[in-house]
């Protein structure tokens, strides 16, 4: 019943910015666990960012994006965001959002729901 749909991907020049959105459809209870992943051609899936709202809240970022990407949410809109600044060609990948606590913690945590992905292409 729950579906996650990513949007906001596209083609940009190096140094540019994009904001990805992940909209949840269907009735769901609020989730404390949300994340973004990416997969480049010929490479495995990489955890990019995680937002955990339990306790005081925590964010986690891959070293490769720390300081450039920001994960956030809008509860009223049931939407998760990934603001990406200072993009470089190494950021080119299919980006996926995920939600629903399914075990683990940090960037390697598991999720119950996954989106279909949105393509991000960064040219030199």
pLDDT tens across 15-56, in order? Answer: 999 999 999 987 665 678 999 999 999 999 999 999 999 888
pLDDT at 106 over 80: yes
DSSP structural state of residue 115? B
The three-class DSSP label of residue 59 is strand
Element (H, E) at 83: strand 79-84
Q: What is the CA radius of gyration of the chain?
A: 14
User: What are the tens digits of pLDDT across the range 64-91?
Assistant: 999 999 999 998 888 999 999 999 999 9
Q: For 75, phi and psi rounded to 5 degrees?
A: -60, -40
Task: Please say whether the dihedral angle defined by the alpha carbons of residues 4, 9, 64 and 73, taken in this order, is positive or negative.
Answer: negative
- Cβ contact 49:61 at 8 Å: yes
């Amino acid at each position: 019943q729950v579906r996650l749909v990513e949007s906001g991907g596209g083609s940009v020049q190096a140094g540019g910015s994009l904001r990805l959105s992940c909209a949840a459809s269907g009735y769901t209870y609020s989730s404390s666990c949300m994340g973004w992943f990416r997969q480049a051609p010929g490479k495995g899936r990489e955890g990019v960012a995680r937002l955990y709202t339990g306790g005081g809240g925590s964010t986690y970022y891959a070293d490769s994006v720390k300081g450039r990407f920001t994960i956030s949410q809008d509860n009223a809109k049931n939407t998760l965001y990934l603001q990406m600044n200072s993009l470089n060609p190494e950021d080119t990948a299919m980006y996926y959002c995920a939600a629903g606590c399914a075990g683990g913690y940090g960037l390697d945590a598991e999720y119950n729901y996954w989106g279909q992905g949105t393509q991000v292409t960064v040219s030199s």
